[in-house]
Amino acid sequence: MATATLPVTERENYLNKEYGIRSWLFTIDHKRIALLYLLSVTFFFFIGGLFALLIRLELLTPAGDLVQADTYNKLFTMHGMVMVFFFLIPVVPATLGNFLVPIMIGAKDLAFPRINLMSWYLYVIGGILIMHCMLTGGVDTGWTFYTPYSTAFTNTKIIEAGLAVFVAGFSSIFTGLNFIVTVHRMRAPGMTWGRLPLFIWANYATSIIMILGTPVVAITIILVAAERLFHLGIFDPKLGGDPLLFQHLFWFYSHPAVYIMILPSMGIISEIITCFSRKRIFGYKFVALSSVAIAVLGFLVWAHHMFVAGMSVYAALIFSFLSYMVAVPSAIKVFNWTATMYKGSISYTTPMLYAFGFLGLFTIGGLTGLFLASLGIDVHVTDTYFVVAHFHYIMVGGVLMGYLGGMHFWWPKISGRMYPEGWGRLAALIVFIGFNLTFFPQFILGYVGMPRRYWQYSPEFQVLNVLSTAGSTILGVGYLLPMIYFLWSMRYGKQAPDNPWNAAGLEWKTSSPPTTFNFDETPVVDFEAYDYENIKDTDDDGGAH
């Protein structure tokens, strides 16, 4: 048999068990579905990134000289929609989450493997719909779809875009449902709630938001469509509706959606920092429960997007207060991660560099959130580049640093190959520098008063815009590098051992890559999470010097 001639490491695994397109398109293996998601979200990251580069190029000069105003408006709309709904929301749960949630708790698969495959198909259908929408004209409302502009004024493809988001929304509802049931019902013997890896806690909290929040945006899309198609007066004051009602409904989902994006990345950071500090996490309970606190409190702060929208001052007062409260669990996490490093044995691997980057960028993103939650300051900086900078620090600085860190950390497990460590560190550095150069000037730009979504701008804003555009090209290189060397490593990379980092966690106790059912026999868990005290760091090299 052919397999007999292969080296020992080429034993049967989920990748080589079956070949052919059908074995992928009809797979119900959570690991293969994770890879299908990986391909699709990477595709949309490219599309969204391309839009971003065009936006930055247009803003190189104050005049609107690269594209027409309408084209520019479509670019930032499609950038936002693609990045939010087709990249940031699914990126960690559907790829790393899908791959790791069952393995980390010692299960053979998710609770509903077929629903898992269906959720990928729904994502793909949503993706095809959004591509169709973009290729036949696109949308120009901003990803926020504010009414009555979206229901009564624009003549772009609102219904098509809404349908795409609606369908993709069900994909995330199913993923959330699957994770919740899996974590409740399929933990291996001994895997108590207090022993769950924090990545699982983070994905669990995320899933709660997904299944509670996503239906609201689905309903909102239906209402927008009803007003646009049948002139039912819901949001348009001319028909007796209320435009602020739309904003309440939209942000009721779209604010928690930010936590859908960031929580899983926070989970990744907990895994990476413990592993490369050789330490148990500092304050396990606080880090775990702060994820749940963020998920719950995150539902109560939506109207902080509306302080100048014409809302009552007393409502604004309450939402401002609650926004400060939701900042507390995030602060707790940052302090605990930092404390975890204390008296550790720290190696500067690529995943750890991304974790450092995450701590820096998330701290800045979080702290600038305090400015926006402050009512008096928000009046001046909302709808300016200050907001743009703030949420990119969270959603790109935070989410993507976590995601890339996680991809490097688990790449040996996923692919069975090592990535080139030197290139990895270089790329992490380039991403960090490029990111800050792109987005830090935007804070200043915002406070000086440049509104967002501007195709042309006043000449005095140009210097900061040039810096930002320059940074974006560096950032682009930083994101391209990992894609190239990950692909390269699949053929030429060093064979990965089962546990290249000497890491704790069940995923490292199975083979790299794992077999289809993850474990030969169901593991029994008789150790706490991050049991680094009892795991010897045998390989002193690890590529980390």
Which residues, numbered 96-155, are part of the site for another protein (CB under 8 A)? 140-142, 144, 146, 148-149, 152-154
Angle at 437 between CA 433 and CA 440, to 5 degrees: 120
Based on its alpha-carbon atoms, the radius of gyration of the chain, rounded to whole angstroms, reads 23
**Smallest distance, Å, CB 477 to another protein?**
25
Residue type, 165: V
# of chain residues touching another protein (CB under 8 A): 100
Measure Cα distances from 124 to 40, 64, 117, 527 in Å: 8, 35, 11, 40
Member of 207, 254, 368, 438 binding another protein (CB under 8 A)? 368
Tokens describing residue 54: 């065009």
By the rule CB under 8 A, 527 interacts with another protein: no
**Smallest distance, Å, CB 448 to another protein?**
5
Select 177 or 396, whichever has its Cβ closest to another protein. Answer: 396
Select 227 or 236, whichever has its Cβ closest to another protein. Answer: 236
For another protein, which stretch binds (CB under 8 A), given 159-167, 178-186, 219-227, 279-287? 279-287
| Residues 32-71, mask of contacts with another protein (x by CB under 8 A) | --------------------------------x----xx-
**Smallest distance, Å, CB 422 to another protein?**
18
Member of 447, 470, 481, 509 binding another protein (CB under 8 A)? 447
Tokens describing residue 196: 């769950």
**Smallest distance, Å, CB 436 to another protein?**
12
At 252, which helix (H) or strand (E)?
A: helix 243-277
Measure Cα distances from 56 to 72, 147, 348, 396 in Å: 10, 27, 33, 16
Tokens describing residue 387: 């907001």
**Smallest distance, Å, CB 123 to another protein?**
28
**Smallest distance, Å, CB 52 to another protein?**
17
| Residues 66-95, mask of contacts with another protein (x by CB under 8 A) | ---xx--x----------------------
Select 105 or 273, whichever has its Cβ closest to another protein. Answer: 273
Member of 393, 403, 461, 501 binding another protein (CB under 8 A)? 461
- Name the DSSP class of 144: T
Select 14 or 246, whichever has its Cβ closest to another protein. Answer: 246
Measure Cα distances from 130 to 2, 162, 468 in Å: 44, 9, 28
Member of 214, 384, 436, 438 binding another protein (CB under 8 A)? 384
Q: How far apart are CA 157 and CA 136, in angstroms?
A: 8
481, burial (CB in 10 Å: exposed 0-12, middle 13-18, buried 19+): middle
Q: How far apart are the first and last CA of the chain?
A: 41
Contacts of another protein in 233-272 (CB under 8 A): 236-238, 243-244
26, burial (CB in 10 Å: exposed 0-12, middle 13-18, buried 19+): exposed
By the rule CB under 8 A, 291 interacts with another protein: no
Q: How far apart are CA 355 and CA 367, in angstroms?
A: 18
By the rule CB under 8 A, 458 interacts with another protein: yes
- Name the DSSP class of 299: G
Q: What are phi and psi of 495, to 5 degrees?
A: -60, 135
Contacts of another protein in 180-199 (CB under 8 A): none
Contacts of another protein in 406-435 (CB under 8 A): none
- Name the DSSP class of 451: B
Member of 16, 136, 345, 522 binding another protein (CB under 8 A)? 345
